[in-house]
Structure 1
């Protein structure tokens, strides 16, 4: 049972607030899902109150459509050691994968999309999904052969499909992202899932870079800790368990052009944005061909049918929203 009584979380609908059961479908939009999910983060350790003023991210000459496509189609060669590191640690950070000019173009485009979406400011965690069907620049990034091939080779699969794109803008003053693993979020019944996380500016420590717990078996280590949809107790207990077991955490800054891939069994978090500059990221999730929808989707999966329209639990995932983006040979 949760430590608090139902109705304790202001971001839940009345139906969700009336029970501690998480096996209901999410009944609001994805921005409201993020407002709820960010409320589950333990922020007592975030002691800084004054935001650090940073210079605006530098602007670089942007590529035209042809140059952008050439960059995104060109292979980025992985070493055997890098693949082995990902498969052992459940994540990897790679430098110089995206050029500064393309990052400038993407940041400008994402700023326009967030502004058009409305109220993303204040200390909110702004999110947009499914941008690629209507935006050629975002579609070029999401459909990138370079990124899809990297995902396939890190996972060790022959064909890779798209789950969805995701714009993540952590506004100045926004707090931590709670510890979580994407296998709890994505209703995809396979271990062959990974997310590429593409910062659109360098991310120093005080801006809240993604932090990764090292290891592929940490889900088992914390399996006895019940998820709590009302308060921060799940996040706090994960923090405590990782400290007790001396789990290694990589929360190093991101250089400009550095991106990461994390497995859906990787536990990750991110610090608060304690700067005056929005921390803007594009994330794209890929999975191995042949995967099915899980048997019992739940509220933590969010509005999953928007990303896989027309499917039911147990169906093989093969919709126009989930194309094959790369295959070996």
Structure 2
């Protein structure tokens, strides 16, 4: 990681350091090394196909350990032929022997200096898994000892001056939409990796001032809540929810940024989900306006919400979820579209 220098993106710096900690936490057992399979293994390929010999398999030669002798050295062809008679010819054995030599065997387990890197089975398991399992594995190593909160959680707790029940926050915003673009956008807000002018100015020759007002430093909380150019839009959203659904929301910074208002606890689940989706689309719309360098307007937000909710409606086969989409669309179509 040192070769990237001190100007590495903080997010990737955190990922790489957690990955290093994960590797150091692994305990390499002899069984992990010697039990690497010979057959149908991605490490041992002959002629672009995984190695497989039924005769050798039936003779009991199934792992790397089985072609090492008692001195911890690879068998010669003569030793191999005495141990597994008639299983392989000399050419195939030498090919197999060369492939096995390329797999690293740590010296403390009797092996010689490796040519290729040894990869712990637990590491292979998460590298072949999906992103969620890989991310969870890194987090478990980084925070399992003290159960301490994530750096982003500490920062938001400080900025918003409150103790936040993060498990509930994650659950709510991941459930309110099946649009991966919206979910990933909210992930970037929660983990504080959403690019703003303040962040970009550290690496690029750009101003750190707000794209909309041009007076304050552009942080996530300023862009989404504090800027006066977005304040009018959020007031219109609050008025629409009050007029259409008879629900009074405060929509303070915590509720907008994290996407959940305590008043929604008293609402039916479908209503709360529809409101959360509206707030999420509102934040995404604000950021898209920033990218296009346009001022956010309430009328345009309603058009975006209509398009996105109708798109989810078309591809949603769950009856209850479709009813939530209908509620979303009706809230947009029936409201007074004035800013």
- Give the number of the structure whose alpha-carbon radius of gyration is greater: 2
More helix by percentage: 2
TM-score by length of 1: 0.23
Higher relative contact order (CA 8 A, sep 6+): 1
TM-score by length of 2: 0.22
